[in-house]
Amino acid sequence: MKFGPGSAANRIALLGWLIYAAATLLLGIAVYFATHAAFSRQIDERIEQATSALLIEYHDDGVGGVQSALDQQGRNRPIGLGTALFDARGARIAGNLAIPLTEPGWRNIVFHDPGEGREQARAQVTVLPGNYRLVVAADLESLETIDHTILAMFGVTVVVLLLLGLAGALLLARYLHRRLAGIEATSSAIVRGDFTRRAGIGTAGDEFDRVALSLNTMLDRIAGLIANLRQVTAGLAHDLRTPLSHLRNHLERMRGGQGQAATGASIDEAVAQADNVLALFDAILRISEVEEGSLRRAFSAVDLSTLVSELGDTLVLLAEDERHFLHVAVGDGIRVQGDRELIAQALTNLVENALRHTPEGSVIGLQVRCDEGGALVTVSDNGPGIPEADHERAQQRFVRLESARSAPGHGLGLSMVRAIAQAHGATFSLGDAGPGLRAEIRFPKRIIA
């Protein structure tokens, strides 16, 4: 995976850092102006309090009282809170603030500090009766000092935070790159044909782990499909080879001209072999059609109880012909959503499979009932059964276990049953009947009509 300017991990980390930097700057600016405003309000409040005290002096003793109060402040001390009183002619008659006559209201003024020269101050100018003007002002040097201190601290803090944010962004980019690199490496290996490669899954259970898990699940599914395709291809080739070889032999004999009667028999055998091949293709196409799922659109309510009962009447006769015993047990009023013909085919396959792979005199059970898990159809026998390790493999296409190789068939019966069950949203499983084999199709409650 590229770890350069074109890297999505870098872009995500850079975007995060830019957002972090913008947020830090905005926060710093907000803190600066909020602090400046708070200190400015404090200065204004001090000026207002001093002005109010002098106005009380004016109301008690007139202009003389104000002059007396201002004279007590001293004339030459450094100004923290300066005052001045002007008469109607604009002449300063009291106070320690050496400034010209100023317009009424709040003003920012410049005054002369005996120790530091020209300074700025915040002033409130109040007009007294007789056109006297009272000025109370506060030096803004302390506020400027606080502003400079905040700006200095803010500058240093911003630089440190931005450096920390940059370090975090680099770590984030490296982390994203590392996690995505594992998924990319797995995908690349799959592209090269290595279907055994899987993405690493961490223990955090985060989004990357879930993506890796989904990817691995998809790869497992693809590997299963490929294995199934190979198995189907090999099985199809194997099962076609025998009937096609027989068909070729019959055709060779026919070409040899061994008499009209013999030729007729060979033609009949050739037709039978051709029908066998066609039946095999029909079975494969039928399974594909069922697995495709398009048949679900025609599903309707199926009276499973009636279907099994009617099917049992027919299969009992077939079992008798095969010298077996078939017992049918049917629960009342069990209905499911599905295709009546497909369900009948699945049950017929299971019963015929039991007849084919159990010795004469075996007892076969066909049962349908309803329990807490839904509707359950069971076909069981007391024959030799199938080892548990082969239960899953026996449901694959063209798989014929060693015990069944001498019996006719192509190994498609159980795979057809499983396809039909899955098309109905049901589950198909094989189990031990103790002794014998038990095949179950369970229709969940949600599809019970």
Between 127 and 282, where is the model more confident?
127
Assign 308 a pLDDT band (cuts: 50, 70, 90).
very high
For residue 378, the model assigns a pLDDT of 94
CA distance 114 to 79: 9
228 has a pLDDT exceeding 70: yes
CB atoms within 10 A of CB 243: 19
Least confident of 37-51, 281-295, 373-387: 281-295
254 has a pLDDT exceeding 80: no
For residue 169, the model assigns a pLDDT of 85
Q: b/e per residue, 268-281, with b = 16+ CB within 10 A?
A: ebbeebeebbeebe
Q: In this prediction, what percent of the chain has a pLDDT beyond 70?
A: 89
Homologous superfamily (CATH) of 298-444 is Histidine kinase-like ATPase, C-terminal domain (3.30.565.10)
Q: What mean pLDDT, rounded, does the chain reach? A: 83
The DSSP symbol for 294 reads G
Assign 379 a pLDDT band (cuts: 50, 70, 90).
very high
Residues in contact with 160: Cβ distance below 8 Å, sequence separation at least 6, in sequence order = none
Least confident of 61-75, 140-154, 157-171, 343-357: 61-75
282 has a pLDDT exceeding 70: yes
User: 207-289: what CATH class?
Assistant: mainly alpha
Q: What is the rounded average pLDDT of the residues 15-31? A: 89
The DSSP symbol for 288 reads H
CA distance 189 to 181: 12
Q: How far is CA 82 from CA 97, 238, 405, in A?
A: 5, 112, 116
**Cis bond before residue 359 (omega within 30° of 0):** no
Q: Do 207-289 and 298-444 have matching folds?
A: no
Beta-strand pair 300-303/325-330: unpaired
Element spanning 335, H or E:
strand 335-338
CATH fold for the domain made of 8-153: Beta-Lactamase (3.30.450)
Q: What is the rounded average pLDDT of the residues 255-276? A: 68
Q: How far is CA 280 from CA 225, 249, 410, 449, in A?
A: 21, 20, 7, 34
Of 358, 421, 363, 356, nearest in space to 395 by CA: 421
Q: What is the pLDDT of residues 112-135, one digit of tens each?
A: 777 777 888 899 999 998 889 999
Between 408 and 281, where is the model more confident?
281
Instruction: Find out whether 330 and 365 touch, Cβ atoms under 8 Å.
Output: no
Least confident of 97-111, 230-244, 339-353, 413-427: 230-244
2 has a pLDDT exceeding 80: no
Instruction: Find out whether 393 and 399 touch, Cβ atoms under 8 Å.
Output: yes
Assign 439 a pLDDT band (cuts: 50, 70, 90).
very high
Assign 258 a pLDDT band (cuts: 50, 70, 90).
low
Q: What is the rounded average pLDDT of the residues 104-116? A: 82
Between 429 and 277, where is the model more confident?
429
Count Cα neighbours of 390 within 13 Å in the Cβ-side half-sphere: 12
Tokens of 18: 């830019």
44 has a pLDDT exceeding 80: yes
61 has a pLDDT exceeding 70: yes
Question: What are the extents of the domains in the chain?
Answer: 8-153, 207-289, 298-444
Cα–Cα–Cα angle for 417, 392, 400, nearest 5°?
Answer: 75
Backbone angles phi, psi at 159, to 5 degrees: -60, -45
Backbone angles phi, psi at 11, to 5 degrees: -65, -40
Of 135, 442, 425, nearest in space to 293 by CA: 425
Q: What is the 3-state secondary structure (H, E, C) of 66-134?
A: HHHHHHCCCCCCCCCEEEEEECCCCCEEECCCCCCCCCCEEEEEEEEECCCEEEEEEEEEEEEHHHEEE
Q: Where are the alpha helices (DSSP H) in 124-206?
A: 141-191
Mean pLDDT highest for which of 11-25, 221-235, 272-286?
Answer: 11-25
407 has a pLDDT exceeding 80: no
Least confident of 181-185, 291-295, 343-347: 291-295
Adjacent-strand bridge partners of 120: 110
Least confident of 71-75, 97-101, 138-142, 223-227: 71-75
pTM value is 0.51
For residue 125, the model assigns a pLDDT of 93
For residue 135, the model assigns a pLDDT of 92
| Contacts of range 117-120, beta carbons closer than 8 Å, 24 or more positions apart | 119/79, 120/144
Tokens of 373: 């898990």
Between 309 and 200, where is the model more confident?
309
DSSP assignments along 355-418, one per residue? HHHS-TT-EEEEEEEEETTEEEEEEEESS----GGGTTGGGSTT---GGGTTSSS-S-HHHHHH
Residues in contact with 267: Cβ distance below 8 Å, sequence separation at least 6, in sequence order = 250, 254
Please provide the size of the chain in residues.
Answer: 449
Between 263 and 186, where is the model more confident?
186
